[in-house]
Amino acid sequence: MYNVKVESSFSSAHNLRHYKGKCEELHGHNWRVELTATHDKLDKAGMALDFKYLKMKLNGVLEKLDHKYLNSIPYFRKVNPTSENIAKYIYDRVKKSGIIRIKSVTVWENTTSSATYEE
């Protein structure tokens, strides 16, 4: 089994509902996102998956989050925009976009804190 990872980023603002603390107030992050995909075998070129293709799929989803107030996106009107839920949101949308077998999506809200979603 081969795992292939790509990273990208986006900037956005949010506030957490039902949270007692600073993060209940409007604030922003420069999010870093890591997508891990998996494949059983290599192609003729010796690659499991093309990094360029994976980044294109990931960036297609992140484009809809970049420079947005996440709470105003329909999905996050009902689901609290925590790092955990953002990771699942990205995972689900990349998965819907094509033939990629996604292993996990990790969302970093800063250099020391991240959340990962995998099925």
The one catalytic residue in 23, 27, 63, 118 is 23
Q: Is 84 a catalytic residue?
A: no
Tokens encoding 84:
């955990």
Tokens encoding 59:
């960036």
DSSP 111: T
CA-CA-CA-CA dihedral for 79, 81, 82, 87, to nearest 10:
90
Q: What burial class does residue 78 get, using C-beta atoms within 10 Å of its C-beta: 0-12 exposed, 13-18 middle, 19+ buried? A: exposed
Q: Is 23 a catalytic residue?
A: yes
The one catalytic residue in 7, 27, 63, 67 is 67
Name the residues annotated as catalytic: 23, 67, 109
